[in-house]
Amino acid sequence: MRIAVQGRVSLRGDYHPSGNSNAAIGAIAAAMLTEAPTSLKRFPRTRSTEAMLNVAQQLGTTIVEDKANTIQLLTPHIQTRILDPTMTRDIAASILFLAPMIIRRQHARIDWLRPINRLHTHLTALHELGQTVDVEGHHITVTAERWDTAELVLTWPSVTATALVCMLAAGLGRKTTIYNAASEPHLRLLQHQLVQLGAQVEGIGSNLVTIFGWGDKPGPADVELPTDHIEIASIAAISAMNEGQVDIHDVYLPDMRMILKVYERLGMDYYLENTPENGDHQILHIPEQRHLKISRASGDTPTIDTAPWPGFPSDLMAITTVLATQARGTTLIHEKLFDNRLLFTDKIKAMGGNILLCDPHRAVVFGHSPLRGEYIDSPDVRVGLALLAAALCAEGETIIDNAQLIDWAFHDITTKLSTLGAKIEGVSL
C-alpha cells in the first residue's frame, strides 16, 4: 500500500481514539480461558487484532459482532493442541494462546519460526512455575503442572511474558507472586479481565502482582478496552508540529503523565478538560502552536530516554524524534530498550531533518529543521506513523510506501486524520 501525503496542512477538529489494540490482543487470548462468553467493547479492527482473531477461530472460538465496535467471543472447546506455523507466522503475540491451551487441554505444541531467544523470559518463567517444557529446534512443547504457591522474578518486564504468566497463575496456581512484572495499561486491562473470570489479583497495574487462582470454572466477562494512549500521544504530537487545533477525547490521564511530561520538555502546550459525561476520562486540548521550543530547565541539553512502563514508551520514540526536529533547540534521544530502533532517522534526514546518529541507541536532534516531501518507505508500524507525521508537516508531497503497516496497530487512523483536514490519498502501485 502506497499513500501520498500533502504537507503543511493544519489540522482542526475533534479526535476520538480507538481502543488499545495491544489490550485487545491480550483480551482475545484471555477470553479463551473460559467456556463462557466474553464481550469486548471498543474493539479496534486493526491488522494485528484481525490476525489474533484468525488464530482464535482456528483454535475453536466463535466470534459474533454484537454492535459497532463490540464483539463477543465464545470458546466451548479448544480444538487443537498445536499452534502450527500458519498460526504463529503473522503475529508474535500468538504465544499468548499457550495459556488457554495448556490450562484447558493440559498440553500444547508451538511451532515458532522466530528466534527462540526472544522467548527467553517466557520459557524461564514456565520452568520456574514447574511446567514441563521441551524445546527442539523451532518446536516448543509444554505440559501443564498445577502448583500451590509460587514466586518468580521475570528476567525482563516483558508484556507478553507477564500476560502469559498472569493467565497461567489464574488457571493453574493457588497463589502466585510475580516480581518485575510489566505494568503497561494493557496488562492492567488483562488483570481486571482475570478478576471478572473469577481470579483475585492484588497489585493490578504494578510491578508486583499476586494472583489467586479461580479454582472452579471461570465465568463470563464483559470487558471495555481502554483508549490507545499511544494513538492519543501520536495525534497530540502531529497536531503540535502542524500548528493544529485538535481536541482529543476519552483520555485517561494516568496513562499519559510521563508522555505529557516529555512533550512539555519539547515545548508543547496543552490543557485538560474534565467533562461529567466522561467520568474519569478527559479531553486533551492541543492549541495552535506557532513555535515549539525545547525547555532547558536544568541548563543542560535535555535527554529523552525510553524505559519500562511507567517510563517513556519505546513505541513513541520515533514520532517524538520527529517532534524534536520541529522544536527550536537540541535534544538527545536515547533508546535504551531495543536495538536499531533509531536507524529510521536516515529517512527523516533525507526529508531535511538535522539529526546526528551517534550509535544505534542514541541520536542528537537539532531543531528547528524545515522538512520537505520525499519518497520514503515504512519499515514497521511505529516508524510508519512517525513518517506520516513528518510528511504532514513537510513542504510539498511525500509518498510513503508500505503504509499498510500503520494499520497493524491503529484502527483507521489515516481516515480519522483526514476528517481533521489531512490530505492523504492512496496511490496505485
- The pLDDT tens digits of the residues spanning 365-414 come to 999 999 999 999 998 888 999 999 999 999 999 999 999 999 999 999 99
For residue 298, name the pLDDT band (cuts at 50, 70, 90): low
Residue 299 has pLDDT above 80, yes or no: no
Over its C-alpha atoms, the chain yields an Rg (Å, rounded) of 22
DSSP 334-391: E--SSTTTTTTHHHHHHTT-EEEEEETTEEEEEE----B--EEE--SHHHHHHHHHHH
- Between 167 and 88, the higher pLDDT residue: 167
User: Which of the residues 90, 111, 305, 377 is marked catalytic?
Assistant: 111
Per the prediction, the chain carries an average pLDDT of 95
Provide the CATH number for the domain formed by 2-18+227-427 in this structure: 3.65.10.10
Secondary-structure percent of the chain, ordered helix, strand, coil, rounded to 5: 35, 30, 35
| Across 220-244, average pLDDT | 97
pLDDT digits (tens, 9 = 90+) for 243-275: 999 999 999 999 999 999 999 999 999 999 998
Cell numbers given for 332: 538527545
Residue 343 has pLDDT above 70, yes or no: yes
| Across 11-27, average pLDDT | 97
Provide the CATH number for the domain formed by 21-224 in this structure: 3.65.10.10
For residue 179, name the pLDDT band (cuts at 50, 70, 90): very high
- Percent over 70 (pLDDT), the chain: 99
111 is catalytic: yes
> Can you give the residue ranges of every domain in the chain?
2-18+227-427, 21-224
Distance CA(165)–CA(311), nearest Å, equals 22
Distance CA(132)–CA(345), nearest Å, equals 44
Contact 66, 41 (CB under 8 A): no
Q: What pLDDT was estimated at residue 291?
A: 87
**What is the pTM assigned to this prediction?**
0.96
pLDDT digits (tens, 9 = 90+) for 188-217: 999 999 999 999 999 999 999 999 999 888
Contact 293, 327 (CB under 8 A): yes
The answer to whether 2-18+227-427 and 21-224 have equal CATH topology is yes
Q: How many CB atoms lie within 10 A of CB 127?
A: 12
Residue 348 has pLDDT above 90, yes or no: yes
Distance CA(166)–CA(319), nearest Å, equals 31
Distance CA(300)–CA(172), nearest Å, equals 51
230 sits in which H/E element: helix 229-241
- Alpha helices (H) along 97-184: 98-105, 120-128, 159-172
Q: How many CB atoms lie within 10 A of CB 218?
A: 23
pLDDT digits (tens, 9 = 90+) for 300-329: 788 999 999 999 999 999 999 999 999 999
The b/e string for 272-303 (b: 16+ C-beta within 10 A; e otherwise) is eeeeeeeeebbbbbbeebeebebeeeeeeebe
Axis-axis angle for helices 98-105, 159-172 (nearest 10): 20
Cell numbers given for 394: 513537510
**Residue 63 burial (10 A CB sphere; 0-12, 13-18, 19+):** middle
Of 243, 357, 265, whose CA–CA distance to 320 is shortest?
265
Q: What pLDDT was estimated at residue 393?
A: 95
Distance CA(238)–CA(320), nearest Å, equals 10
Residue 277 has pLDDT above 80, yes or no: no
Cis amide prior to 310 (ω within 30 degrees) = yes
3-state SS, residue 250: strand
Q: How many CB atoms lie within 10 A of CB 253?
A: 14
